[in-house]
Structure 1
Amino acid sequence: MARKASLHLGKRTVTELRRTLPDVAERTIAAITEEVPSYSDALTGSMGQTISTAVELALGGFLSLAERSRGAEQSPTATAVDGAYQLGRGEARSGRSVDALLQAYRIGARVSWRELSTAAVRSGVDAETVGRFAELVFAYIDELSAASVAGHNDELETTGRVRQRLLERLAAQLLSGADDEVVAATAAQADWPWPETLTVVLVPESQVRAVLPSLPAETVHSGEPLSAGGESDLAALLVPDVHGHRRTSLLRALEHRAAVVGPARPTTAVRASLERALRVRALELGPDTEAHLTELVLGADPDALADLRAQALAPLADRGASSTEKLVETLRSWLLHHGRRDAVAADLFVHPQTVRYRMSQLREAYGERLDDPRAVLELTVALGTLDVAGRATDDDAAPEAGTAG
């Protein structure tokens, strides 16, 4: 909608501002690249130069408005609005969400205003004019972003919506383990670039829209909600090529979300990433599945682990509960500290002599098993994650025993 001008910048000021446009465009692109992960790859190379030029032209168009005589209508030109509309359509075709696009506009407005206002003040513009200048900057950006949203929505109404349905079908095929040829055909139809790996991210369906701008543009949404651990509205997002060092950035981007991140797996084996993420979410272990591998392994067969523990503790069956608890605690620490008596004593907050005394009892109970690698492995697995009810005190300390631990 057209607005009557409330601002007029002199030619000297506009000339100074135009001189800064290349630097302003460069800083704007850098800020968007840094703050909107969806654009990290899109703004490099020739595409980055094209967008940088477009940003510079848009800012130049804005300065033309600011230079107009008082009383003239101040709205983006038809060329600028059409360019913004086509940008929105292009972003939809590229798979980037409207939220990512609007975030880029907000960052662009912030950086442009900071840089241009600094230059304006440097050229002698007074505070009142700078205030009106700010109003015009943000109104201008609002109109361009509205045109881009319209273009984005129109594209989704046509080819974009068809592609989205294909991507949802692709996600369902990948997660169900469909035939590789079927999956490849759907990916080709959807014009989806085949990644080296996929990583499943589980989030509540209500958070999908907020999370997607932080993920790569070709992330695929499963569409149909999943159920796990009593939750019935989980979404599975399939994130391409965030293996290796990129996983750290992914975890950081999801830091304040109720997300669980599965392991990276080859594209057609992504169901394994989903299954692990579902297990970790059901166990409420935390966002990074790869930080809980020990718990997952030991919890894979709870009955087998219980039997193993029963076997491991059988030599202590004839002892009282209090004595057994202290000996189990000591044996566990001895195994985890590779028999270093001082380290065990520090871990248990007891005197090293107490450790020596208890180990003499354990050697009496277990005999040569404590020197058998296979038996030590079984005891380590059985007791490694065992929760001990409390720390023992020195009340069972005894005079030096002849057998050392």
Structure 2
Amino acid sequence: MSDVKDFRLSAEAVAPLRHALPAVATQTVEAITEGVPAYAKAFAGELGPQIEKAVRAALATFLNLVSRSAGKGRGSPLTPALEAAYALGRGEARNGRSLDSLLAAYRLGARVAWRELAAISVRAGQDSATIAHFAEQVFAYIDELSAASVAGHADELASSGRVRRHLLERLAQALLAGEPAHVVTAAAERAEWVPPQTLTAVLVPEPFARSVLDLVDARTLQVAEAGPDETSVLLVPDAQGPSRIHLMRLLAGRGATVGPVRPWLQARDSLARAVRTSRFAPSAGGAVVDTEDHLVGLIVTADPQALADLRAKVLAPLAGEKEPVAAKLAETLRAWLQHQGRRDEVAAALFVHPQTVRYRMTQLRELYGDRLRDPQWLLELTVALALEPA
């Protein structure tokens, strides 16, 4: 604010202005009370006299700046005023308010203060050029205070935002670590996070995590380190029923894997299923993977060695065939089980002629004999062949 520091009024010109400060401060506060409704209650209550005192101090600081007798350099009275404006901006942020009302109060206060101070200067015989220059300094001063408040507001938001993000991350980590309910609930209270009824774990490739967060419920938690490599974990609140369908649409093209809905304290279970599903049914071409579509796969792959042993057992009758033939027979047997023996549907699924299916099934009946009519064997064959071999 070098212009204000360079501009000086004589002591004689400043004296009547300083004498009128209490009255000007009162009029300024009254104008702000009427013109900025957000401050009406605060000005009318116990804070009213303090605010009026602060306005008077701000005006006195300005007069000190433009007075010839004002000190220079390190002791400049501008510093306390800027610090007060900065603190005011931080206070507005802490109270969850935007700067709209505060900046409006600055503008209105500047107009009223200038009007009153200009009238006093005119009565004191100041020439028009001096008064015009004086006006420039008044509004430059208000601009400085406004800028300090904006900086304070931004710094408080950044600081409080970092703290809350840290608390939310700790909450998510506690959830996924399976901490006791009272520990997780306390973490939620510290983060000022209102628990939903349910949470759904979503694995999202890291490059898409930020854009997805902007689309989903604002209460969504994120843990970047909890998922597989280069995958972020999101815990989305209350994504059941129609909300789940909507979530799937939001995730389209982002290669996400969506876990089951679970009570919020059991979010860990949702993540575990999403991770397991992503391993045997990874997203292809950015498609969304819904774990609800892979329940059979989840079950039959729960014990990989048991599944391998079962496959070896039920495919033992094919052991004497050459590998290509055995593979085609196993593929035909799987399709035959899936389509309940309907030859034309089996042929369509395999892209072969129905006669080919008939020929292969004849081979299989010769190899398996009565076992293809045994319910227990059919159950074991169905489970063992439920998935394509890895």
With structure 2 as the length reference, what TM-score do the two structures score? 0.55
Percentage identity across paired residues of the two chains: 49
Secondary structure of residue in 2 paired with 1:255: coil
* Kept after mapping to 2: 8 A contact 1:89/1:153: no
Equivalent pairs, count = 247
Letter in 1 for 2:203: L
* Kept after mapping to 1: 8 A contact 2:335/2:346: yes
1:344–1:162 distance in 2 versus 1, CA, 3 Å: closer
In the alignment, the residues of structure 1 paired with residue 309 and residue 197 of structure 2 have an alpha-carbon distance, to the nearest angstrom, of: 41
Instruction: Tell me which residue corresponds to 1:199.
Output: 200
The runs of 5 or more residues in structure 1 that have no matched partner are: 1-81, 93-146, 389-405
Instruction: Tell me which residue corresponds to 1:226.
Output: 226
Aligned CA-pair RMSD: 3.3
Instruction: Tell me which residue corresponds to 1:183.
Output: 184
Computing the radius of gyration from Cα coordinates, the structure with the larger value is 2
Instruction: Tell me which residue corresponds to 2:372.
Output: 370
Q: How does 1:27-106 map to 2 (within 5 A)?
A: 90=96
Instruction: Tell me which residue corresponds to 2:70.
Output: none
Determine whether 1:270 maps to 2:267: yes
* Kept after mapping to 1: 8 A contact 2:93/2:156: no
1:243 corresponds to which of 240, 245, 257: 240
In the alignment, the residues of structure 1 paired with residue 152 and residue 246 of structure 2 have an alpha-carbon distance, to the nearest angstrom, of: 32
Shift of 1:88: 11
In the alignment, the residues of structure 2 paired with residue 205 and residue 326 of structure 1 have an alpha-carbon distance, to the nearest angstrom, of: 40
Letter in 1 for 2:358: R
Deviations 1:264-299 (A, max 9, x none): 211111111112222333446123242333333333
1:307 corresponds to which of 296, 303, 309: 309
1:169–1:351 distance in 2 versus 1, CA, 3 Å: closer
Shift of 1:151: 4.8
Deviations 1:234-278 (A, max 9, x none): 332211111222112112222233433222211111111112222
Deviations 1:175-215 (A, max 9, x none): 10000111112212322112111112223445433322101
* Kept after mapping to 1: 8 A contact 2:221/2:234: yes
The runs of 5 or more residues in structure 2 that have no matched partner are: 1-87, 99-148
Shift of 1:86: 6.6
Letter in 1 for 2:299: V
1:156–1:186 distance in 2 versus 1, CA, 3 Å: same
In the alignment, the residues of structure 1 paired with residue 333 and residue 280 of structure 2 have an alpha-carbon distance, to the nearest angstrom, of: 27
Instruction: Tell me which residue corresponds to 1:383.
Output: 385
1:284–1:87 distance in 2 versus 1, CA, 3 Å: farther
* Kept after mapping to 2: 8 A contact 1:91/1:152: no
Shift of 1:89: 7.1
* Kept after mapping to 1: 8 A contact 2:204/2:255: yes
With structure 1 as the length reference, what TM-score do the two structures score? 0.53
Secondary structure of residue in 2 paired with 1:209: helix
In the alignment, the residues of structure 2 paired with residue 258 and residue 213 of structure 1 have an alpha-carbon distance, to the nearest angstrom, of: 17
